[in-house]
Structure 1
Amino acid sequence: MSTHFVGEGNIGSAPEYREFPNGNDDPRRLLRLNVYFDNPIPKKDGEYEDRGGFWAPVELWHRDAERWQSLYQKGMRVLVEGRTVRDEWEDADDNERVTFKIEARRVGILPYRLEAVTLGAKPAVGQ
């Protein structure tokens, strides 16, 4: 079961990059982000109160995932679009567990909490 998802949140830890063999083809590349999706409610004093936020693992499968690992950083504000997926697994004590993860189509960087942005030239093919 999956459901369309769009949410804004903060990356809570350093991104995790992994590669998986794919036969004779290029390996499948995964960038996993741990994101806290908050629910900021404005208060009368101009500040915000978080009501009902949650943590979710965000998986971004893409051939450029390795390069993006250094782009996404802990604390960065992101907008995630994708789908929620129910993930069933067993813990070390053989207890059945159920969690939800987000398989992202897009992860956009929002300009909050950024001090600078540096753009570089895209490397030539084969480098």
Structure 2
Amino acid sequence: MQNIVILAGNVGATPEARTTQGGTKITHFSLATSRPKRDSDGKVIKDRDGYRVEDTEWHRITCFNGVGKTVEEYVDKGMKVMVRGRIHYTSWTDQDDIKRYGTEIIADEVTFLTRARQASEQQQGERDLPIDDDIPF
């Protein structure tokens, strides 16, 4: 059996990175995925202006080492990315002795579906290449 998840969506905020005492780079970011909201008959619900109404879900993405470094350098809020990885469930007891639960996606790959931000001034001299903004979501 395998635990595999593939998500494509929009990055919710600039990724946050840290390094453990052991030298492991850990980068976190949030990813929003959306799907059309449907009525009890399965038809897509539309608002009064004719636009479809969507359900949005937020996912916590965790990247390690090389993937984490790349995400930290090039990913920014609003970018469209595809994440391939696995679901990881955690539990802990908080300071009030209450059992808490969490879910995150451990990313093996993060693919940029829109142009990545430039890492620093080192790339300022490079020409921008055209991108395809017609990626469906």
- TM surpasses 0.5: yes
1:63 aligned counterpart, secondary structure? helix
> Is 1:32 the counterpart of 2:35 in the alignment?
no
Query: Alpha carbons of 1:118 and 1:30: their partners in 2 closer, same or farther (altered >3 Å)?
Result: closer
Partner of 2:63 in structure 1?
60
Sequence identity, in percent?
25
Counterpart residue type for residue 21 of structure 1: Q
Change (3 A) 1:59 1:96: same
Pairwise CA RMSD? 2.9
Distance 1:64 1:103, change over 3 A: closer
User: What is the CA–CA distance in structure 2 between the aligned matches of 1:47 and 1:17, rounded to whole Å?
Assistant: 37
2:107 is the alignment partner of 1:104: yes
Equivalent position to 1:71, from 65, 71, 74: 74
> In 1, are the aligned partners of 2:71 and 2:110 still within 8 Å (CA)?
no
- TM-score between the two structures when normalised by the length of structure 1: 0.70
Q: Secondary structure at the match of 2:104?
A: strand
Kindly tell me the number of residue pairs found equivalent between the two proteins: 112
What is the TM-score with the length of structure 2 in the denominator? 0.66
> What code does the residue aligned with 1:16 have?
E
> Could you tell me how far apart the structure 1 residues matched to 2:111 and 2:36 are?
19
Deviation at 1:11, TM superposition (A): 1.1
| Aligned-residue offset at 1:68 | 3.5
Structure 1: stretches of 5+ with no match in the other structure: 121-127
| Structure 2: gaps spanning 5 or more residues | 38-43, 124-137
Question: For 1:83 and 1:46, how far apart are their aligned partners in 2?
Answer: 37
Question: Are 1:16 and 2:16 an aligned pair?
Answer: yes
Structure 1 residue 16: deviation in Å?
0.6
Distance 1:6 1:68, change over 3 A: closer
Please report how far the alpha carbon of residue 46 of structure 1 lies from its aligned counterpart in structure 2 after TM superposition.
8.3
2:94 is equivalent to residue 82 of structure 1: no
Structure 2 CA distance for partners of 1:63 and 1:109, relative to 1, 3 Å: closer
Give the CA deviation at 1:93.
2.2
